[in-house]
A and B are shown apart, each in its own frame.
Chain A
Amino acid sequence: MKKRMNKYLLAGLIITGIVLVITLIGIFWTPYPPTAMKFGKFQPPSLEHLFGTDNFGRDIFSRVLKGTGTTLTIALATVAIGAAVGTTVGAITGYFGGLADDILMRLNDALTAFPSILLALLIISIVGPGSKYNVVIALGIVFIPSFARVTRTSFAALRDVNFVTSARLMGAGSGRILLVHLLPNIMRVLLPAVTIGFNNAVLAEASMSFLGIGVKPPDASLGYMLSEAQGMLKAGPWYAICTGLTIVLLVFGVGLIGEGLQSRNREVV
C-alpha cells in the first residue's frame, strides 16, 4: 500500500498540529492565570489581552488555552472509549456472528434509536452531573454503537477472505486472527471514523455544557465557555466569537484529516 500524503491530510495535520502545540503550552503556561479576575471587565481584544476579557475581568485567551485542553481531553477519552468498546463489539458480532451477533446488534439498534443527547442526559442522571469523568463516560457510551456498526461490517466482510481461512488452517486462534490479521485491515475504516467521532464528541460536549449537564467550574471546556458567552453577546461579543472560532478550527483540522484519510482509501481501492 503506497501511502501518499494528500492535500487534505497535510492541511488537517498542520492545523491540528498547531492547535495541539498551543494546547500543550497552555497546560504549563498561560499569559495570565485563567481564573484571575483582576483586569477590567469587557475589554475588547488588544495586544495585552489577545481575545479580550469577560464579565469577571478574566483574560479570555488564557481561558481558551485551558478550555481547549479540557475539551481535547474529553473528546479524546470519549472517542477512545467509543472506538475500543465499539470495535470489540464489532469484532465479536462481525467475526463470530450467530447468537452474540443477534443480541448485541439488537441492543446496538436500541441504543441508536435514542437521540444521542437524550441518551447522554439519561446516563448523566445515573452517574451524576458535574465531573469531567462523568461527561466522558456518558458520551463514551453514546458513541459505542456507531463504531460497532462501522467495524462490524468490515469484520464480517473479511471473515471468510482467503488469507483468514489460511490463518485458521495454520491453527491461529480467534484472538490472533482478530488482532494481528484483521485489525490492521480495519484501520482504513476505523481511523476516518475516529476523526468523525472526535468532532462529534467536541460538539456533543458543547451541547451538553449548553444544557448545563456538562463540566462545572472550576473546570472550563470550550463548550462551557461558549454557553457562558451566550449571556454576554452584547457586552462582549469577542468572547463568543473567539471561543467559537477555536472550536471551529479544532473541528475543521480534524475533519480535514478524516477527509484526507478517506480519499487516500479511495485511491488505494
Chain B
Amino acid sequence: MGDDNNPAVLETQQTSVDGNEENSRLLTPEKQLVLEVRHVSAGYRSGGFAGRGGKYTEVLHDVDFVVRHGEILGLVGESGTGKSTLARAILGLLKPEQGEIIHHTPRPQIIFQDPYSSLNPAYSAWWSVEEPLRIYGKYDTEERKRRVRDMLERVELPEECYMAKPDELSGGQRQRVSIAAALIRRPRFVIADEPVSALDVTIQAQILKLLRQLRDEFDLSYLFISHDLNVVYQLCDRVLVMKSGRIVEQGPVEEVYDHPKEEYTKRLLEASA
C-alpha cells in the first residue's frame, strides 16, 4: 500500500496514537465519507487457461452504498448472498467488473470470522501483532515493542497470553489478537466479517463491547458483516440488507427494523425475533 510513504497519513496516525482522538474527530466532519461503493458488479471466473477466458459468474449486482465517518454500518443477509465477496472487493482482493470503489482512508483492514485461520499457527500472539509493524518497517525495535504492548493492553489480552501460539488460546483470546493485529497500523476503516459468529454468547458480548470501545478510542468506522440481525441491531448505526448479491434495503437500524419495506427484510426479522 503506497500510502505508507505519505507524510500526511502518518501525521493523522500520530495524533490518534497520542490519545488525541477528540481532536482528530473535530478535524473531520461527522458526515465525511470513508468509503464509497458505486454501482459495483463483481464475480468470479472459473476455468480458462492461465487466468484467461473461462466462465464468469456474477455475485454482486449493482451494489451501491457509502460508509460514513465514525459509523458502524451493518451488512446482513443469509449465507451465499455475496457478503464476503463484497468484503473482498472492498479490500481490493477482487476486481469489480463494473462500477468503482473509492477509499477515503488508507489501508482498510479486515477482522475475520474464524479465529483459527486468521492467525499464523507457527507464531506467537505477540509476533502476529508486531508483524504489520515489521512490514511497515519505519519503527525501531523499541518503538514496535511499545506499540504492540499498548495495543495488546487495549484489546485486553491477558499478559500471560502474549507469547502463546494460537492453538494455546481460546476463541475469544484469538479474536482479540486478530483485532490487535488489524488495528496496530491504525487503520481508519475496518471490515469485520462475522467477527463474533464463532464465539460463545458471553464471549460474543465481550468482543462486541471491545469493538465499540475501540471505535471510540481509534476513531474508526466499521463495515460489520453478520447473519445475526440481533447482533447488528445492538452494534450498528445503519444497516444494509443483502439478498442474492443485491442491496435490497438500507437505512438507520431503528428505521429498517421497525418499518421494514421489503418482504425479504420482514422475513429475516420475523425469523430472528
Contact = CB atoms under 8 A, between A and B. Distances in A.
Interface of A: 1-2, 97-99, 102, 161-163, 165-172, 176, 181, 184-185, 268
B97 to A, nearest CB: 20
11 contacts: A1-B167, A99-B50, A162-B117, A166-B112, A169-B91, A169-B107, A171-B4, A171-B135, A184-B120, A184-B122, A185-B121
A170 B167 contact: no
B93 interface: yes
Contacts of A184: 120, 122-123
Contacts of B86: none
A1 B182 CA distance: 23
Contacts, number: 62
A181 B93 CA distance: 19
Nearest to B50: A99
Nearest to B116: A162
Interface of B: 1, 4, 49-51, 91, 93, 107-110, 112, 114, 117-123, 128, 131-132, 135-136, 165, 167-168, 181-182, 185
Interface residues of A: mostly helix, strand, loop or mixed? helix
Contacts of B136: 170-171
Given A169-B91, A184-B122, A162 B112 contact: yes
Given A166-B182, A181-B120, A172 B135 contact: yes
Given A162-B114, A176-B135, A102 B50 contact: yes
Contact of B109 (A162, A169, A172, A185): A169
B120 A163 contact: yes
Contacts of A167: 131, 135
Given A163-B120, A166-B181, A170-B135, A1 B165 contact: yes
B106 to A, nearest CB: 11
Contacts of B114: 162
Contacts of A166: 109-110, 112, 118, 181-182
Nearest to B187: A169
- Across the A-B interface, the 6 shortest Cβ-Cβ residue pairs: A184-B122, A99-B50, A162-B118, A170-B132, A162-B117, A162-B112
B211 to A, nearest CB: 17
Nearest to B108: A169
Contacts of A162: 112, 114, 117-118
B137 to A, nearest CB: 9
B189 to A, nearest CB: 12
Contacts of A171: 1, 4, 107, 135-136
Of B108, B119, B132, B135, most A-chain CB atoms within 10 Å: B135
A191 to B, nearest CB: 13
Contacts of B117: 161-163
Contacts of A97: 51
A162 B168 CA distance: 19
Contact of A185 (B120, B128, B181): B120
A168 B49 CA distance: 25
A1 B169 CA distance: 11
B131 A170 contact: yes
Contacts of B185: 170
Of B118, B120, B167, most A-chain CB atoms within 10 Å: B120
Contacts of A161: 117
A168 B120 CA distance: 13
A193 to B, nearest CB: 18
A102 to B, nearest CB: 6
Nearest to A185: B122
A1 B135 contact: no
Nearest to A180: B131
A98 B51 contact: yes
Contacts of B131: 167, 170, 172
